Structure 1
Amino acid sequence: MKLRRLYCVPFALVLGCSSSGTVGSDLERQVEELVAQMTLDEKVAQMSGDTVISGPYGDELWSVPGVERLGVPPLKMSDGPRGIGVLEGATAFPVAMARGASWNAEVERQVGEAMGRELRAIGGNVLLAPTINNLRHPSWGRSQETYGEDVHLLSRMGVAFVQGAQQYVLANPKHYAANSIEDTRFNVNVTVDPRTLREIYLPQFRAAVHEGRAASVMSAYNSVNGQFCGENEALLRGILKGEWQFDGFVLSDFTFGTKPDSARNGLDLEMPVEFVFRDLAEQVSSGTLPEAVIDDAVRRMVRKKLEYELEAPSPVDESVIASAAHLEIAQQAAIEGSVLLKNASGALPLDAASLVRIAVVGSLADTANIGDTGSSSVQPAFVVTPLQGIEEAVGDSLLIDHIAKDVLDGDDLAAIEAADAVIVVTGLTAEDEGEGLIGAGDRLDLDLSPERESLIRDAAAANPRTIVVLEGGGAITMGDWLSEVEALLMVWYPGQMGGHAVADLLFGAANPSGKLPITFPTGLDQLPPFDNVTLEVVYDYFHGYRYLDRNGATPEFPFGFGLSYTTFSIENLQASQTAAVAGDVVRFSVDVTNTGSAAGAQVVQLYVTYPGSAVERSERELKGFVKVTLGAGESQTVEIALPVNQLAYYDVASSAWALEALEHAIHVGTSSRDLPLSTSLAVAAQAPVSLY
């Protein structure tokens, strides 16, 4: 059942909608009628949750009261960056970083829809996802929860998730805004200039609100420019509810996210229980807080309850939970998000028919390693490990020596030396990175542990055909061990079906098509500073590939990079026009050909540069992409649409978006550092322009 949307709902004392009136006015009339019938106490009660957290992520849906006498239903929430956290047996999808690496918004829409179905099946109606914070530095402990370092990629994936989830429940993009440090997240103040804030840290939230039609937003713990996000008037009332005209509701991050001026400045809902908001009724009665503030907050929540028919019976039952269809989506997401980083001498895919014995090495080979144990944790009924996936894939066709440890002895090395191929499964775990306070927190060293680096080196020294399967939530620096292995497959935290995905990729049942959603540096010296100790930090315009490009640094692997078992050519860049004005949408097309012998998928990426700009801008920035699947020898013309207004910069002097009169350079290729095709687009100056 799709929940769009008649607004003709059987709330008590609300008449049916008119068949001749406009839908929007009917909805607002119904909202006003309901709120007008509520007492002050009933309204205030809807502005705080009433469920105490038990455990790191809770063991029941977090509830927010409705008004039973008026038929207004409660809100029922669960975390959900990679699955329904409160539900035992929920589908555990790959982490968002892995899904960002798929560069496939349609698969992400399916993931969001599947999570929405599972939550609705157990009576929930608000999914606390997606996380769309920009990964400013890979040391952030929760890097696994977001889609990457680029604002355009974040926007496309975030919108897709929201649109999928809201077929069944309300989505909740988080954490608004500039949240990317764990260890000081409750107290740190992020100073960020207006251009950087508008162009780098907010566009993905704007996209989620305007394109995705997100019903709610979660504020962050941290402070931005001297005011905590949960009471930040400029962010909440000025930008979100003012400029963007967001008509949904804003809820706090849990326990520590509500502040004394939160309600006055635009926070609508305190979670998970009433604490700061317990005095709201008294403030109204004493005249220190206008009741209009309360009415606006309640109106926003009632509006979304009506719009999305939250009072209606669930259109799905619990048979959808971890159903075959959802597990298939999880496996496909794991396949598409895995990135082949190295494949010397065609080491992969492995041909089982030509092998007699393989060694599967490392403590993580048979460990359920699916991500952080904090608020994003999921409780699947089972997890397919890489070893289990490999065993099922090859059956009895070859011998498998499983060496389930990271420190190898002489017998282990002898078994590795005797193998026809060696698969080392290693990487990071929840002990290395995760949510602050209830998890490992930030990860200051981007290397693997010395023990795990030695595992790779020792295996590679014993057998030159060593393949590394790397797990983790973000960038990992590799030092000199990378040159010692034949192949490297980055699978992130691949979810409960990850073992099947790994086996499919290793043995060629699937072809890697993932692209890095972040830069893999050679070391910390290539990155901006990461400070998770002091309580005052500055976020400037450059991070990720923008930072390396500006500094002329060569990463280990660039943003957008990923190999395949086949080869592609990209030719014949064409533009629908060579000059444009505000409001135009220019369409760029290229011919993509699979020049290899296997079916595969390629991600065509479009970047823009701004020669002669009056303001400092990125050397190149992603503005569009498309993923295309082709059979061997097959060709297809693909198109990327570029709205000209997206080329505007935020002019601080006029507090508006402005297009420059520039000959913009357009570059197309397969990563931020592989852009063989170029053309130009002349854009006329205009200010102000609207981005939405």
Structure 2
Amino acid sequence: MSGLSEDERLWLLDGDQSFWRGMWRMVARGYNRVPVVAGAVPRLGIPGVRFTDGPRGVVVGTSTCFPVAMCRGASWDPAMEEEIGRAIGAEARAQGANLFAGVCVNLLRHPAWGRAQETYGEDPVHLGVMGAALTRGVRQHVMACVKHYALNSIENARFTVDVTVDDEALHEVYLPHFKAVIDAGAEAVMSAYNSVNGHWAGQNHALLTAILRQEWGFAGFVMTDFLWGLRDPVGSLAAGQDLEMPFRQQRARHLPAALRSGQVAMADVERAGTRIVAAQLAHAATPRPPLAADVAACPQHRALARRAAARGMVLLRNEPIEGQAVLPLDKASVRSIAVVGRLAGKPNIGDKGSSAVRPPVTVSALAGIRSAFSTARVTHHDGADRPAAARAAREADAAVVIAGYTAWDEGENIAGLDAAAISAMAPPPLNHPLLARTWASLVAVAASRRLIPGGDRRSLRLHTRDENLIQLVADANPRTVVVVITGSAVVMETWRKHVPAILMAWYPGMEGGHAIADVLTGAAEPGGRMPMATPTDGGHLPFFDPRAPNITYHRW
């Protein structure tokens, strides 16, 4: 720190771009198309944190879109997850990043959570093993960041909810997986938006200092979640928050004056800066061979994505028809297939928020089936014309219904933004209370009219039109397979006993269509097992209120 000026020391503690310039580029180019840089000091050769998001792959540039983490969690295969981590790390480094912030291990408390697809399941041991495996792989190329610390498992209320939890539940259920990832070497931790026991996670001394550093011995750095992850730019520094992301926001406005007035000690500034720079230096000190520019979405990584998708698919049901199980479908004897459903031909790879990867191409279920059954007659009906769909199913040797969700049904969502968070985030004049309240009201109205995608799921059942279509096709063809596209558990009681075969395919990534066809034909074994309990009725689950201002988390 002695070689840095006071301005440079403060520069280390937030993103490098100004708020308005950064926001304009994000709107014009899209989120995280290039690495988000924080704390670069070229004069001293400090590269800065160069951030890419995840966890489906590298959000920067054009990258391999792997199956969502929930699909990979269903594989229960840490060796494969470490292999995926190596691929992700290589693609991140090749595209200019030095930190991958896609090790998401938030525990799935309820399957309606909108971002369930980004984590591995509901068990802390399972989460820790899989997250640690991803971390080991990623760190062969870039630094790893685990998120969202902690107790972040409601999407709609994530900016406002206060989670109350006792020490027993906190340490036995909601934190062990974070520690497992840190023990695997993660250099960074991203704090959550929500409040824990009355204190915002981004400035929560108990979480960031007492547990993370004093109890666990974490020596890396902590960063905020983006834009709205910090409420107190001054007090957060002493609490253990090192880096405000992604732009020069509150700290750039408030820390210089706070330092002059004595509200902030230079020792706190230097401590945070040292953590951030030390992690970069330690990473840079490890020699790594150069990477080819075309490693991103290369054939080897696409093949891994295809294998991982099939490995995580769960065959929930496979009953015999005329003495033989419906799956696998014999390519030699199946002459015609009816593929039914509005999602069949869509590149449906999951959430459109911060985890959205931009692959060069995506193979839909329909395209994968047509490729696998190249000599058969494959017809497609989206289900809008119900008699036509039933007729196609009746005339085919087998019928495949593709049903489930899209990014409009579940995923990241900003509908819960409150005026206080907006006011804290933005510089003048946008931080004026009246403007902040107006913005929050407009967001709330848009969300109520379903103009904003994502959020927590409104139901654990499929859409009524999908359930009706499944019944229709099953009545028309006894050899009906239902492929479910989802990020979490689905209640299937109204239709599951009416179809002989059900395949849980999750959001299977850019090669998902080929992987689905691999499983349908028997070219690949559906190796997955459910990483969460699936209820027969939503009433069997813990209480869940997506708009809760406060909630208590217990051990179950």
Structures share fold, TM-score greater than 0.5 = yes
Q: For residue 378 of structure 1, give the secondary structure of its aligned residue in structure 2.
A: coil
Q: Which runs of 5+ in 1 are unaligned?
A: 1-34, 543-692
TM-fit CA distance, 1:57 = 2.5
> 1:216 maps to what in 2?
188
User: CA separation in 1, counterparts of 2:285 and 2:249?
Assistant: 26
Q: Which moved more, 1:359-368 or 1:51-60?
A: 51-60
User: CA separation in 1, counterparts of 2:113 and 2:285?
Assistant: 36
Number of paired residues?
Answer: 504
Which amino acid in structure 2 is aligned with residue 434 of structure 1? Answer: G
User: CA separation in 1, counterparts of 2:389 and 2:264?
Assistant: 71
Measured against aligned partners, the alpha-carbon deviations of 1:323-375 in whole angstroms (never above 9, x if no partner) come to 11111111111011100000001111111112221111111111100001011
Aligned with residue 308 of structure 2, among 319, 333, 348: 333
CA-atom RMSD in angstroms: 1.4
Greater share of residues in helix: 2
> 1:24 maps to what in 2?
none
> 2:368 maps to what in 1?
389
Q: Which moved more, 1:354-363 or 1:191-200?
A: 354-363
Structure of higher RCO (CA pairs closer than 8 Å, 6+ residues apart) = 2
Aligned ranges 1:508-519 → 2 under 5 Å: 508-519=522-533
Q: What is the TM-score when the length of structure 2 is the normalising length?
A: 0.89
> 1:320 maps to what in 2?
295
> 1:359 maps to what in 2?
338
Is it true that 1:407 corresponds to 2:380 in the alignment?
no
Aligned with residue 493 of structure 2, among 472, 479, 485: 479
User: CA separation in 2, counterparts of 1:314 and 1:50?
Assistant: 28
Which amino acid in structure 2 is aligned with residue 323 of structure 1? Answer: C
The question of whether the paired residues in 2 share the 8 Å contact of 1:123 and 1:314 is answered with no
Q: For residue 91 of structure 1, give the secondary structure of its aligned residue in structure 2.
A: coil
Measured against aligned partners, the alpha-carbon deviations of 1:243-274 in whole angstroms (never above 9, x if no partner) come to 11101000000011112121110000000112
* Greater gyration radius: 1
Which amino acid in structure 2 is aligned with residue 409 of structure 1? Answer: R
User: CA separation in 2, counterparts of 1:320 and 1:59?
Assistant: 17
User: CA separation in 2, counterparts of 1:412 and 1:93?
Assistant: 31
> 1:264 maps to what in 2?
238
Aligned with residue 68 of structure 2, among 69, 81, 95: 95
> 1:434 maps to what in 2?
411
The question of whether the paired residues in 1 share the 8 Å contact of 2:60 and 2:95 is answered with no
The question of whether the paired residues in 2 share the 8 Å contact of 1:57 and 1:79 is answered with no
Is it true that 1:40 corresponds to 2:6 in the alignment?
yes
Q: 1:477 to 1:119 in 2, by over 3 A?
A: same
Aligned with residue 260 of structure 2, among 280, 285, 296: 285
Is it true that 1:450 corresponds to 2:429 in the alignment?
no
Aligned with residue 50 of structure 1, among 9, 12, 16: 16
Is it true that 1:107 corresponds to 2:121 in the alignment?
no
Measured against aligned partners, the alpha-carbon deviations of 1:448-474 in whole angstroms (never above 9, x if no partner) come to 111111110000011111100110101
Which amino acid in structure 2 is aligned with residue 415 of structure 1? Answer: A
> 2:357 maps to what in 1?
378
Measured against aligned partners, the alpha-carbon deviations of 1:188-225 in whole angstroms (never above 9, x if no partner) come to 10000110000100001100111x11000100000000
> 1:552 maps to what in 2?
none
User: CA separation in 2, counterparts of 1:507 and 1:287?
Assistant: 69
Q: For residue 281 of structure 1, give the secondary structure of its aligned residue in structure 2.
A: helix
Instruction: State the percentage of identical aligned residues.
Output: 44
Aligned ranges 1:242-641 → 2 under 5 Å: 242-260=214-232, 261-278=235-252, 279-309=254-284, 315-345=290-320, 346-396=325-375, 398-403=376-381, 405-437=382-414, 439-542=453-556
The question of whether the paired residues in 1 share the 8 Å contact of 2:141 and 2:288 is answered with no
Measured against aligned partners, the alpha-carbon deviations of 1:259-304 in whole angstroms (never above 9, x if no partner) come to 2121110000000112221222332232221211111111111111
The question of whether the paired residues in 1 share the 8 Å contact of 2:409 and 2:453 is answered with no
Q: For residue 500 of structure 1, give the secondary structure of its aligned residue in structure 2.
A: helix
Q: For residue 37 of structure 2, give the secondary structure of its aligned residue in structure 1.
A: strand
TM-fit CA distance, 1:491 = 0.5
Q: For residue 343 of structure 2, give the secondary structure of its aligned residue in structure 1.
A: helix
Q: For residue 402 of structure 1, give the secondary structure of its aligned residue in structure 2.
A: strand
> 2:209 maps to what in 1?
237
TM-fit CA distance, 1:310 = 7.2
Which amino acid in structure 2 is aligned with residue 329 of structure 1? Answer: L
The question of whether the paired residues in 2 share the 8 Å contact of 1:57 and 1:376 is answered with no
Measured against aligned partners, the alpha-carbon deviations of 1:374-397 in whole angstroms (never above 9, x if no partner) come to 11111111001111111111211x
The question of whether the paired residues in 1 share the 8 Å contact of 2:53 and 2:59 is answered with yes
Measured against aligned partners, the alpha-carbon deviations of 1:34-87 in whole angstroms (never above 9, x if no partner) come to x22112211110110024241463332211132222221122111111022131
Q: Which moved more, 1:50-59 or 1:498-507?
A: 50-59
Measured against aligned partners, the alpha-carbon deviations of 1:75-125 in whole angstroms (never above 9, x if no partner) come to 2111111022131x2111100000100100011111111111111111111
Q: Which runs of 5+ in 2 are unaligned?
A: 415-451
Which amino acid in structure 2 is aligned with residue 495 of structure 1? Answer: G
The question of whether the paired residues in 1 share the 8 Å contact of 2:108 and 2:116 is answered with yes
User: CA separation in 2, counterparts of 1:421 and 1:475?
Assistant: 26
Is it true that 1:164 corresponds to 2:137 in the alignment?
yes
Which amino acid in structure 2 is aligned with residue 182 of structure 1? Answer: E
Q: What is the TM-score when the length of structure 1 is the normalising length?
A: 0.71
User: CA separation in 2, counterparts of 1:235 and 1:113?
Assistant: 30
Which amino acid in structure 2 is aligned with residue 151 of structure 1? Answer: P
User: CA separation in 1, counterparts of 2:548 and 2:393?
Assistant: 47
The question of whether the paired residues in 1 share the 8 Å contact of 2:462 and 2:490 is answered with yes
Greater share of residues in strand: 1
Q: 1:269 to 1:311 in 2, by over 3 A?
A: farther
The question of whether the paired residues in 1 share the 8 Å contact of 2:213 and 2:219 is answered with yes
Structure 1 segments, 4+ long, off by >3 Å, are 310-314
